[in-house]
Amino acid sequence: MFCPKAFAGIGKLPDTISDRCIPIQVIRRSRDEKIERFRKRDSEAATLSIRESLAAWVRQADVIEALRTARHSH
């Protein structure tokens, strides 16, 4: 079974976690670094085509059936 999780930590992750993850390193911004305010409406516009493609994909009956039977075939 797959269930995505998010972990946060300082320093090196234990091997039991690090060999099963996609690490995302976060770096503190400098005092002179400019940042833009996050605007939900901008992110919605930028991701519209991806969301529409995913919605069309899940509406395909054969895809849903393949996902339902995949669990039972292994």
Sequence-distant (6+) residues with CB within 8 A of 29 are: 35
Name the band, by pLDDT with cuts 50, 70 and 90, for residue 51.
very high
pTM across the whole model: 0.43
Torsion region of 11: left, alpha or beta (phi above 0 gives left; psi -120 to 50 gives alpha): left
**What residue segments make up the domains of the chain, in order of their start?**
38-74
The model's pLDDT over 23-41, given as tens digits with 9 standing for 90+, comes to 888 888 899 999 889 999 9
